[in-house]
């Protein structure tokens, strides 16, 4: 991964995100997505850039210089992006900042550097795999994010910070609910709890229905964890499926599922809808039975899932 330490600080967008936002993930390690082109073609102006790694307690983003340029152009068009930290590979390898930094303060310094260098005000922490069961890591992360939130407030940089966590149709796993408990006990409550409604590992699952069930179950868990109403819990939620072919054969999220998930999310008043990933939203590998990073595995027109979800933004 490439980090340009000398890159000048970017100007953060002054754009206010809509109350309900569709912000698909973009794999920054690839070069098959141009943010302004997606915006022009489908009206989608909000994205989630993945992933920031933290090896050696030093943040890095693949192709950083190119994303600086893309964000500059997107801001000029009235759009914006979140920076997402972690992800499956980073969390499996133990190179997330919460694991590699020796203190919450050291991690906070790195996160603050991303805010000022990349020019973002929305931060996402994708917590899965080995990180999800590492209590020391989770504790340090929560403590660091409390510091980051305070820093942002003091420096007129109001931040929106989300956790992205795996879910089953029955809701968060015990590790997921433990994450929320640890976070609250350390003085940090995420603005958004974004669930990954994907990769259940069973062939034939009706993925749209499963995603809606996961959302409803998670709302109850979030309400319990933070002592809030069901309505308030739904308003803190995000839902992120993997479009098309998931990692297991027979586990396929269709365009009909996208319509189901968007409609249910709208009816429940959730905060965020996303998907993995914008660079897969094409029919370049129709019929493939394993997940590809560059195509959905379905026979589809380019941008079909993006168009299906875009009306959620309002």
All structural domains of the chain with their residue ranges: 21-310
The per-residue pLDDT for 14 is: 80
pLDDT tens, residue by residue, 77-109: 999 999 999 999 999 999 999 999 999 999 999
Q: Annotate 75-142 with DSSP letters as a single string.
A: HHTT-EEEEEEE-HHHHHHT-SHHHHSSSHHHHHHHHHHHIIIII-SEEEEE--GGGGG-HHHHHHHH
The per-residue pLDDT for 11 is: 66
Q: How many angstroms separate the most distant Cα atoms in the chain? A: 52
Per-residue pLDDT at 313 exceeds 50: yes
Per-residue pLDDT at 245 exceeds 70: yes
Per-residue pLDDT at 180 exceeds 80: yes
Share of the chain above pLDDT 90, in %: 95
What number is the average pLDDT over the span 283-295? 97
The per-residue pLDDT for 6 is: 38
Q: How many CB atoms are located within 10 Å of the residue 126 CB?
A: 27
Across the chain, mean pLDDT equals 95
Reported as a pLDDT band with limits 50, 70 and 90, residue 2 is very low
- CATH superfamily, domain 21-310, is Glycosidases (3.20.20.80)
* pTM score, whole prediction: 0.96
Dist CA 150 CA 3 (whole Å): 26
The per-residue pLDDT for 10 is: 61
What number is the average pLDDT over the span 185-198? 98
Closest among 84, 23, 77, 44 to 302, alpha carbons compared = 44
Share of the chain above pLDDT 70, in %: 96
β-pair type (122-126, 244-245): unpaired
Q: How many CB atoms are located within 10 Å of the residue 231 CB?
A: 11
What number is the average pLDDT over the span 14-37? 97
Per-residue pLDDT at 144 exceeds 70: yes
Dist CA 233 CA 43 (whole Å): 28
pLDDT tens, residue by residue, 3-13: 333 344 566 67
The 3-state DSSP class for residue 209 equals: helix
Q: Which residues contact 119 (CB under 8 A, 6 or more apart)?
A: 9, 10, 11, 12, 13, 68, 71, 75
51 prior amide bond cis, ω within 30: yes
Over the range 5-32, which residues count as b (16 or more CB within 10 Å of their CB) and which as e? eeeeebebbeeebeebbbbbbbbbeeee
pLDDT tens, residue by residue, 108-140: 999 999 999 999 999 999 999 999 999 999 999
277 prior amide bond cis, ω within 30: yes
């Amino acid at each position: 991964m490439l980090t340009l330490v000398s890159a000048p600080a970017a100007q953060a967008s002054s754009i206010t995100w809509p109350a309900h936002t569709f912000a698909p993930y973009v794999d920054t390690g690839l070069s098959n997505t141009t943010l302004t082109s997606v915006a022009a073609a489908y009206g989608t102006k909000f994205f989630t850039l993945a992933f920031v790694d933290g090896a050696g307690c030093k943040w890095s983003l693949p192709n950083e210089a190119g994303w600086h340029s893309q964000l500059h152009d997107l801001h000029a068009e009235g759009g914006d992006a979140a920076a997402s930290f972690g992800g499956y590979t980073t969390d499996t390898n133990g190179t997330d900042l919460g694991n590699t930094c020796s203190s919450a303060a050291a991690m906070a310094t790195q996160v603050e550097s991303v805010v000022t260098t990349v020019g973002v005000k929305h931060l996402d922490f994708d917590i899965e795999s080995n990180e999800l069961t590492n209590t020391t890591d989770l504790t340090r992360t929560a403590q660091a994010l409390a510091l980051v939130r305070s820093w942002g407030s003091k420096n007129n940089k109001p931040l929106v910070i989300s956790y992205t966590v795996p879910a089953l149709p029955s809701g968060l796993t015990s590790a997921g609910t433990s994450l929320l408990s640890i976070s609250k006990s350390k003085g940090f409550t995420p603005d958004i709890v974004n669930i990954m409604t994907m990769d259940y590992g069973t062939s034939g699952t009706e993925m749209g229905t499963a995603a809606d069930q996961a959302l409803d179950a998670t709302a109850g868990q979030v309400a319990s964890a933070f002592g809030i109403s069901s309505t308030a819990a739904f308003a803190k939620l995000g839902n992120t499926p993997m479009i098309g072919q998931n990692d297991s054969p027979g586990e396929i999220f269709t365009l009909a599922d996208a319509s189901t998930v968007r409609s249910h999310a709208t009816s429940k008043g959730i905060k965020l809808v996303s998907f993995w990933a914008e660079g897969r939203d094409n029919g370049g590998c129709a019929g493939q039975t394993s997940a590809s990073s560059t195509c959905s595995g379905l026979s589809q027109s380019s941008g079909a899932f993006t168009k299906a979800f875009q009306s959620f933004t309002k």
